[in-house]
Each structure stands twice: as structure tokens, then as C-alpha cells.
Amino acid sequence: MMNHKHPLELISVSADVNHSKIDASIIWLHGLGADGYDSEPIAQRLLNLSTFAHVRFILPHAPEMPVTRNNGHIMPAWYDVYGSIPITKEDEAGVAASQTYINTLIKKEINRGIPSNRIVLAGFSQGGAVALYTALHYPEKLAAVVSLSTYLPLQSQFNSAANRVSASMPIFMAHGLFDDIIPLDLARASFNTLQNCRYLATWHEYPMAHQVSEQEIIDITQFLQQVLALDLVE
């Protein structure tokens, strides 16, 4: 079992001052070589909006491990990356280990009184891959997934392994037209797989490289506002 540092947790200043009840959680996973603090600026920006005054952000840190594609250098990673695109070999054990860890974070939020359908998984790049994979295989329906500049790992196993309870879960997939780290075609193929399996996935493209853009943040904000507001009246 990998050792994980305690995740960064953020709530609105107004929620802290007014002792407002937290009624939703967003677990946001960073990319390869980063850490939870890399996701903090976006989380803080959302927390400045009144819509997110009752939301807790959980920003976990990936464990450090040697990454094969980066010459075995040790860095924060959710799973090992072996080689070039197209992907011919995947770290199934590493993906499963990260899935298990994120499941424990979901369970902790449930134990704090947040229903599973008020918990969002989000992530960028490798973190987005783990977020997408974990949400699609979680035994209960989550609120939504935000999957940025990434792909669905272990896609060849998807049809047999995925849990259909997540079929009605909104999925926001976004990618840069000029991404030179994770090719656009790979991300589109993942989206097509989800569409073909009748998942509620939406696709968004932006004129950017392997990054997050201003318009993308605006679109993510609107998406999260919608899915969290909708669940309150269900």
C-alpha cells in the first residue's frame, strides 16, 4: 500500500465563519509530477463564489514513485507510465491502487454525512484519468466527473468492468486542440467509448496545449453549479 500525505482540504471562508453545513464535496486530483497544491488556485476561485459556500474541496497528493517514461525518476504519480502513444502497456496495478485510495476519500466524505450523489470527482491529466476510472467503477452513483486533458485508462476492459449505476452520472470531458502530451485523438476515443455505452458524457475542446484555460474554467464552473444544484432538488 502506497503512503499518501494527508490531502489538502478547503472550504469557503463564509462557511467557516457562519458554521454553514457542508452539503457537497469535490475531490480534485492533480497531474503527474504535481501535488494537491497545484489544484488549489482553481478550488479557491470556485470557493469565492457563493454557489460553492457549502462545498468542501479535497485535494489529495499522489504518492512518489519511479516513472518509467521519465527515466525512472521518482515523482508524484497516480500510476506508472511506460512509454509513448499509442499506449500499448498500462500500469493496471497502479491504477487499481489509486482507485482504492480515492474510494477511501469518497467513503470518508460519506461518513461525514455527504451522500455519494453529492460527491464530484475531478482531475487533470493523470489525475483526470484516475478520477474518470474511479467514478465509472464506483458502486454508487456520484454527482459528476470532471475529466480534463486526459483519457480513460484500461479502456479495453471497460465494457465488462464498468458499473452501470454510473450511467446517469454527468461527465465533463475537455481537451486542448494542441495537446502534445496526451493526444486529442486518444481523449476523443475515450469519449466515443463512453458515448457508445450511453453514458452522459459531454465533450469540450479548447485552443490550448496540455493546460487549463480561462474559458474552460468558466465552463467547468457552470457545469459544477448545475450538477450540484440539480442534486439538491432530486
Catalytic residues: 125, 179, 210
Cβ 22 vs Cβ 58: under 8 Å? no
- 32 vs 82: CA distance, rounded Å: 13
**What SS3 class is residue 108?**
helix
User: Of the candidates 68, 13, 15, 6, which has an alpha carbon nearest to the alpha carbon of residue 37?
Assistant: 6
Phi, psi of 90, rounded to the nearest 5 degrees: -125, 150
**Cβ neighbours of residue 100 closer than 8 Å, sequence gap 6 or more:** none
C-alpha cell of 3?
503512503
